[in-house]
Structure 1
Amino acid sequence: MERSVARGHRLSGLLAIAGFGAWLGVSVLQQLNRRDPWSKRLDPSSVFVPEWKFFAPTPVRHDYNLLYRVEADHGEPSPWREIGIIEPRRTGHLVWHPGRREEKALFDAANELFRTAQRTENRDQVRLTVPYLTLLNYVTNRAEGVKSGDRVQFLLATSASHEPDVRPEAVYVSSFHRI
């Protein structure tokens, strides 16, 4: 009896090691820059098979800053206010940082909006894209002091938080949108 229990423990240990080994292997393969990664078909949202491309092939060299201003009916626009997207890092974030998904989603939307705006000459077409609507929705839901009938505008800027001498640069300014 003891022998079969020991064999069962050994077998479950080997299965766990094999499972984690397979997961590690698939995770490593996910990082390669391929046109049609089969792992995306298995896990389209990269929840179980992570995709860590923060450092390669092209490292991120800047942060996006999201600012907004509000214009009341026929009034002057308010000063620009920043929506704090990036939470200051703490040691515990090495283990648990659920806010990172929001930061990454907004970074990806801003990055895609910037690329789309560079490629498209017609500004009206840019306003119909998913990244633009994502950022507009985020701003209108996070903006403070907005009343029904006000108009909101957002500004996307790049900055290098690790280099304080580099001044932020505006890269995209939206149209005003009525709330």
Structure 2
Amino acid sequence: MSPLTVPIIFVLLAWIAVTILNSTERSRSLLRRIVGDFAPIIPGWSFFAPTPGQVDYHLFYRDKRVDGSKTAWQRVPRFGMERKWTHLFWNTDIYRDKALFDVVEHFTSTVADEHEPVEADETTDGSSAVADEENAQQLELEPVDLGDKQGSILYMSLLNCVSLQDHSRMSDATQFAIMANSREQTQYEPIYISQFHKLEQ
């Protein structure tokens, strides 16, 4: 064994230890008092994401029937699924959630540049499955007309995802809503709601 092996292993283990300590606010404050001016060079869990995401996005949709009535809002499955402790080790759904997160982040930033945020008279309780018309609470949101931007790749990606869901034969058109929530929120927060779009039966 080389004489440098033990010192190198010690340095690496110490570096890992201080990196872990730098990952929570309480231990970070203690670490800064100990190392002083050297604190900025110690990486933290948010090293590549100084402002990490704090909400989950959910994609909802509802249909307009041929008689003009509307179905209850339903959540598109496999996006924003309930978190489990096993996800710390194995979470294959994270790629779908990340894809939706990226689309929504770019999409909503475009909307925010030109439109006021939507407001809801009533939002869906975050604990609700929003799975059927009888139990779902209706979201009454004001649709936002994006004009030419409705033909953008981001918009069409969301619309295509919704159009591929199950729809009744009596459904004539569909619309989608982007909602956000977190563990601290008891309700979904409306981000955007689309116009109704014709369904191809």
TM-score (norm 2): 0.54
1:72 alignment partner in structure 2: 65
Q: Does 1:112 align with 2:134?
A: no
Shift of the 130–148 alpha-carbon distance from structure 1 to 2, 3 Å rule, reads farther
Shift of the 169–92 alpha-carbon distance from structure 1 to 2, 3 Å rule, reads closer
Distance in 1 (CA, whole Å) between partners of 2:48 and 2:180 is 18
Distance in 2 (CA, whole Å) between partners of 1:151 and 1:177 is 5
Matched to 2:193, the amino acid is V
Distance in 1 (CA, whole Å) between partners of 2:160 and 2:151 is 12
Q: Percent identity?
A: 30
1:88 alignment partner in structure 2: 82
Shift of 1:116: 0.9
Distance in 1 (CA, whole Å) between partners of 2:47 and 2:64 is 37
Matched to 1:176, the amino acid is F
Aligned match for 1:151, one of 157, 173, 183:
173
Shift of the 90–126 alpha-carbon distance from structure 1 to 2, 3 Å rule, reads same
Whether contact under 8 Å (2:57, 2:80) holds in the other structure is no
Whether contact under 8 Å (1:64, 1:158) holds in the other structure is yes
1:140 alignment partner in structure 2: 163
Shift of 1:118: 1.3
Shift of 1:77: 1.3
Shift of 1:57: 2.0
Matched to 2:178, the amino acid is L
Shift of the 108–100 alpha-carbon distance from structure 1 to 2, 3 Å rule, reads same
Distance in 1 (CA, whole Å) between partners of 2:112 and 2:188 is 19
Q: Does 1:126 align with 2:163?
A: no
TM-score (norm 1): 0.59
Shift of 1:83: 1.9
Distance in 1 (CA, whole Å) between partners of 2:50 and 2:151 is 30
Distance in 2 (CA, whole Å) between partners of 1:168 and 1:91 is 22
Q: SS of 1:150's equivalent?
A: strand
Shift of the 53–106 alpha-carbon distance from structure 1 to 2, 3 Å rule, reads farther
The superposition leaves residues 1-55 of structure 1 with CA deviations (integer Å, 9 ceiling, x where unpaired) of xxxxxxxxxxxxxxxxxxxxxxxxxxxxxxxxxxxxxxxxxxxxxxxxxxx9797
1:3 alignment partner in structure 2: none
Shift of 1:71: 0.8
Of Structure 1 and Structure 2, the greater helix share is in 1
Shift of 1:79: 1.6
The superposition leaves residues 114-165 of structure 1 with CA deviations (integer Å, 9 ceiling, x where unpaired) of 11111245711221122211111111112x33338620100112212x1144
Shift of the 90–168 alpha-carbon distance from structure 1 to 2, 3 Å rule, reads closer
Distance in 2 (CA, whole Å) between partners of 1:109 and 1:93 is 22
1:27 alignment partner in structure 2: none
Distance in 2 (CA, whole Å) between partners of 1:73 and 1:54 is 52
RMSD: 2.7
Distance in 2 (CA, whole Å) between partners of 1:138 and 1:53 is 31
Shift of the 148–141 alpha-carbon distance from structure 1 to 2, 3 Å rule, reads farther
Matched to 1:175, the amino acid is Q
Shift of 1:172: 0.6
